Amino acid sequence: MMANSFQKSLGKWSSIPAGMIDRAYLNETRGFIQAAWVFMKTRAIYLFLFWPLSVLDLFIAGTLASWSGLAAAFSFGDDARKKYIESLNKYATLFSKNLYALAALAVGIIYPKLIVFYFTPEPTKEEGVRSGGHYYKDEEAQMVTPKSEQEIQVLIKKALKDGKKVMPVGAGFSQGKQFIPQGGNGKSSIVVDLSELNTVEINQEDHTATVGAGATWSKIQTTANDFKMALQVMQASNVFSVGGSVGTNIHGWDHKNGSLSNVILEMEVIDAQGEKRTVKPGDELFHLITGGLGLYGIVTKVKLKLTDNIKLKERGELVPIDQYVDHFRRKVLTADNHKTKMHLYRLSIDPANLLGEGIAVNYDDESNSAPVRTENLTQEAPNGSRFNRVMINLARRLDWVRRYYWNGEKARLQTNADPELTTNEVMQPPINAMFNNSVSEAEWLQEYFLPEEQLAEFLKELGHLLTENKVCLINASVRFVKQNDQSLMSYANQGDRFAVVLAFNQSLREDDVVKAKKWLRKSQSLAVNKGGTYYLPYQHVSNPEDFRKAYPHAEEAQALKEKYDPQGVFTSGFHQKYMAKKSETPNYFKIVMGNPEYREAFKGFLEVVLQRVDTEKLYTLLEDVMEYNDTHEEIYQELTRRLPQIMPGTLGTISRLLKSLSDIKHDLGEQAVVSLPEDLKEINGLVEIGYPGRFINGFKEKYKVTGNVVAVNEAESMTDFIQSGFPRPYNQFAKLDYRKPNLKDLPDNSADVITCYVGLHHFTEEGVEEFLKEVSRVLRKGGHFILVDHDVTDEKTMAMAHMAHMIFNAVNGESIKDEMTEVRRFNSMDHWRKLLMKHGLWVDLQGADVPMVRKNDPSRNRMISFVNNQIKLDLSNVVYHLPPITDRTFDFTNALNAVSSLAKLGSMNATVVQQTELPPYQGSRKEFFASHALSKIVLPRLTDTTGVDRSKDPLNQLN
């Protein structure tokens, strides 16, 4: 295997530094220093690695080409001669390529990528699935290539059983998340590669082709050509698969037939239950499959109508933008025009006049020719011609080349001097030269569908937008599409539309992708606001609101998906974002950033609590991120990626982190002292839950700490020393699992103080009950449980608490998975008080009676100390004495609610009595028993479960 790999690399050593240079262009270049570094790095690699290895490749390729030529000349067997000729062609091509590169040494020094672009190595086989456009990827997805319909059926049924998601892929050119499975709840998903289902059968009598879903248009063209036939509807290029084209319901240059679904007679599909079905245009499922992006079933076979392969004359006419629709209606789409078989409107790609003018191009049958077989109809080479590769590469880099090309095409098309072409030749324009191995750039597509009255204005505004964003436009045209109101997800559902199609070169450097996402969203909004739509198979950037406007029947389409695919086996990233029913979970990024009052309040958390990032810089970054992201997940992921842009340098980050830690240690340390009894001197057994010993030294400074000192946290880490100091201040570590918490390693009645500054909101509903049982078990009678948690009482404090966690996680680089799965069950302190009472943990009445919240903390992270009384309540008869009604309005509902909450602790008969002779009680700490307006509480004596006399217990003293 190694020998074979070495042989394949002969003559290709220069691809190694070429790949290094290509990857260097992925680096973001903010500021002069970064830009200068990339500039020097790429040229150093070019001069000292690429150029010498190219010389070596030139010598190797020349030697091997000469040897192959001699071997072919003196070979006796035909097979051997053929093999040597193939080898000769291969090495001669490598020789000439390296010769050109060496001749262009000076050009390469000025612009290395212009030369090494032809040498970038083929991508190595990678795990997962990558979309067309090279931007989106699922590393967990499994690619499967079945060879029969039966294999697909078995696969679907097994996926249903295993709970996995499945999506089909054809040629793989969709540029968003259309064929990337999603929603598998952590289970690896399956992508079904249909390339092996590529049979083509032609029926000459009825002019039809029955083809496998994995067959490409080029293969069908070649086969149909032998029967003097051609395709009716196809994209402008023939590299796409039939199955993928059905899923997107493509259109082409044929202005009379409209979408692909109009020429499909029937299809065979494997449905969501793994059953084989035949669907026809009269079936509901037919129009869900066509344009359904693979969400309703896997197409395996399609029967298409064909047309005659005839000779056509290409004729062009310069038509101003604002006159094009009238030109089309008067001269092309007329009842008596039978000669024009295909039509498009070529738009200017001149950087100085993007979309500013156009050539209307007809392909006319002027001779009423009989069907013909196109001689020498060969498929384009995988990489196109060398001339086309050079020209496209130059066009990507140089404005004047694109201007030159447009002016040349404009002149050529208006001369009308080119010879006739057959239908199959017209429908085979060169495209393969656009494909390349670069990881730093790609060709992206975008398409819009406009009503005719809005087309001219849209083109003008879109041209300005492209110019403003310096978009490198490679191709642009307008095509007519007939209305299709049968498919719910049709891009021409509301009427006839003019499709505006763009192909442009896109850098994959992240800051350039961000720029592209912004203008793409603006352009889609522009189309939607003019009553149009946009094409779904492209970039995953659309604003969900624009999607709903452009595709108003999406909810109905989703309802039918649930009918045909009730278990949601066919689920993609596109479907999850735009069609699937969403949970009602609020997006707190949008809630806080969209409310001026909340934004202002949240500054307190950033400046007092977090202290890690500048407030205004963070807000500016968030606003920018939210301009091209929508969901909580998207915003968080992009915010995390871009936060380094605004974070201080390494020293600044360390300084701020240490100050933040110092402040929180001081503040919570002081709060703890105030919360605990004044006469407390010694703590026999200390347990810190949720932190790696961060606050233990604070207790040691204030109290005599004896006994076992324990840190209970998710895991120990080398960075714990930053929080806790060195050496570690505890002598035992216990692992914490928030979903299944226990303190099994800690003995009963072994701690005087347990702290939980991380709060209870991270525990599940079941987990928190178990956790509090464990706390009550470990804490000695009369011991203190100090809780810090967000006192969330309304919409504002809920938003503050969530936002605090999201920003904290982002600043600390928590993964998107951890962010999205983190439990956050925020509640009011009253809620936690009642819950702790169930486990014998009562609010300590001996500490200070003031709210323990850090100054200006909008998330109201509040400290309360609870005492472990382990009391068994006998609430058989409780009488509440209420104050007289005075100028302070009293609400009896509060009293009844308080009685009800206590009743949950055991069976009781409660009586509420208004007593006019008693003045209102002025205290506040005791009011937790009976809301905020009760004057006196009469309780039976509270009996300790162990029988110990508790007559002096503070709770009993309430009587």
Please tell me the predicted confidence (pLDDT) of residue 723: 83
CATH for 311-578?
3.40.462
Please tell me the predicted confidence (pLDDT) of residue 9: 76
Q: CATH homologous superfamily for 652-791+827-834?
A: Vaccinia Virus protein VP39 (3.40.50.150)
H or E stretch covering 829: helix 829-838
**Residue 865: closest CA among 725, 683, 739, 743:** 683
Please tell me the predicted confidence (pLDDT) of residue 174: 86
Asked whether residue 642 carries a pLDDT value surpassing 60, the answer given is yes
Asked whether residue 877 carries a pLDDT value surpassing 80, the answer given is no
Do 771 and 573 meet the contact criterion of CB atoms below 8 Å apart? no
CA dihedral 169, 170, 175, 177 (to 10 degrees): -10
Do 474 and 392 meet the contact criterion of CB atoms below 8 Å apart? yes
Asked whether residue 594 carries a pLDDT value surpassing 70, the answer given is yes
Q: Count Cβ neighbours within 10 Å for each residue of 466-475 and write b for 16 or more, e otherwise.
A: bbeeebbbbb
Residue 902 CA: distances (Å) to CA of 157, 500, 733, 775, 838: 53, 69, 37, 21, 9
Residue 383's pLDDT band (boundaries 50, 70, 90)?
confident
Asked whether residue 233 carries a pLDDT value surpassing 80, the answer given is yes
Residue 5's pLDDT band (boundaries 50, 70, 90)?
low
4-8, 229-233, 327-331, 484-488: lowest mean pLDDT where? 4-8
Which residues neighbour 884 within 8 Å (Cβ) at sequence distance 6 or greater? 914, 915, 916, 918, 920
Which residues neighbour 656 within 8 Å (Cβ) at sequence distance 6 or greater? 611, 612, 648
Q: How many helices (H) and strands (E) does the chain have?
A: 32, 32
| pLDDT mean across residues, the chain | 87
**Residue 585: closest CA among 798, 813, 804, 828:** 798
- What are the structure tokens assigned to 297, written together? 């079933």
Asked whether residue 6 carries a pLDDT value surpassing 90, the answer given is no
Q: How far apart are CA 540 and CA 533, in angstroms?
A: 15
**Which pairing describes strands 751-756 and 682-689: parallel, antiparallel, or unpaired?**
parallel
List the domain boundaries for the chain: 2-119, 311-578, 652-791+827-834, 878-958
Q: What is the pLDDT of residues 645-665, one digit of tens each?
A: 999 988 888 888 888 888 888
Q: How far apart are CA 283 and CA 564, in angstroms?
A: 13
Please tell me the predicted confidence (pLDDT) of residue 846: 55
Question: How many CB atoms are located within 10 Å of the residue 836 CB?
Answer: 22
Q: Is 751 left (phi over 0), alpha (psi -120 to 50) or beta?
A: beta
H or E stretch covering 55: helix 51-73
Q: Could you give the count of Cα atoms lying within 13 Å of 468 in the half-sphere of its Cβ?
A: 13
Residue 790 CA: distances (Å) to CA of 321, 362, 485, 705, 857: 61, 69, 53, 28, 10
**Residue 361: closest CA among 398, 416, 310, 322:** 416
280-294, 380-394, 863-877: lowest mean pLDDT where? 863-877
Of how many residues is the chain composed? 959
Asked whether residue 915 carries a pLDDT value surpassing 60, the answer given is no
CA torsion sign for 811, 813, 816, 819 is negative
| Angle between the N-to-C axes of helices 596-604 and 795-811, in degrees from 0 to 180, rounded to the nearest 10 | 60
Q: How far apart are CA 603 and CA 855, in angstroms?
A: 12
Mean pLDDT along residues 711-728: 85
Tell me, what DSSP letter sits at residue 933? S
Please tell me the predicted confidence (pLDDT) of residue 179: 84
pTM: 0.84
Q: Count Cβ neighbours within 10 Å for each residue of 494-510 and write b for 16 or more, e otherwise.
A: bebbbbbbbbbbbbbbe
Asked whether residue 185 carries a pLDDT value surpassing 70, the answer given is no
Q: What is the pLDDT of residues 729-765, one digit of tens each?
A: 999 999 999 888 889 999 999 999 999 999 999 999 9
> 815 or 915, which is more confident?
815
**Residue 826: closest CA among 786, 850, 852, 795:** 795
Asked whether residue 954 carries a pLDDT value surpassing 70, the answer given is no
Please tell me the predicted confidence (pLDDT) of residue 845: 58
Tell me, what DSSP letter sits at residue 935? -
363-367, 495-499, 906-910: lowest mean pLDDT where? 906-910
**Residue 268: closest CA among 217, 302, 306:** 302
In order, the DSSP letters of 340-399 are EEEEEEEE---TTSTTS-EEEEEEE--S-PPP-PPTT--PPPTT--HHHHHHHHHHHH-H
Strand partners, 261: none
Mean pLDDT along residues 143-159: 95
In order, the DSSP letters of 85-96 are HHHHHHHHHHHH
CA torsion sign for 737, 740, 741, 746 is negative
15-24, 119-128, 500-509: lowest mean pLDDT where? 119-128
Q: How far apart are CA 144 and CA 209, in angstroms?
A: 26
Q: Is 487 left (phi over 0), alpha (psi -120 to 50) or beta?
A: beta
Q: How far apart are CA 734 and CA 732, in angstroms?
A: 7
Do 492 and 482 meet the contact criterion of CB atoms below 8 Å apart? yes
919 prior amide bond cis, ω within 30: no
302-316, 369-383, 548-562: lowest mean pLDDT where? 369-383
Asked whether residue 75 carries a pLDDT value surpassing 90, the answer given is no
Q: How far apart are CA 882 and CA 927, in angstroms?
A: 12
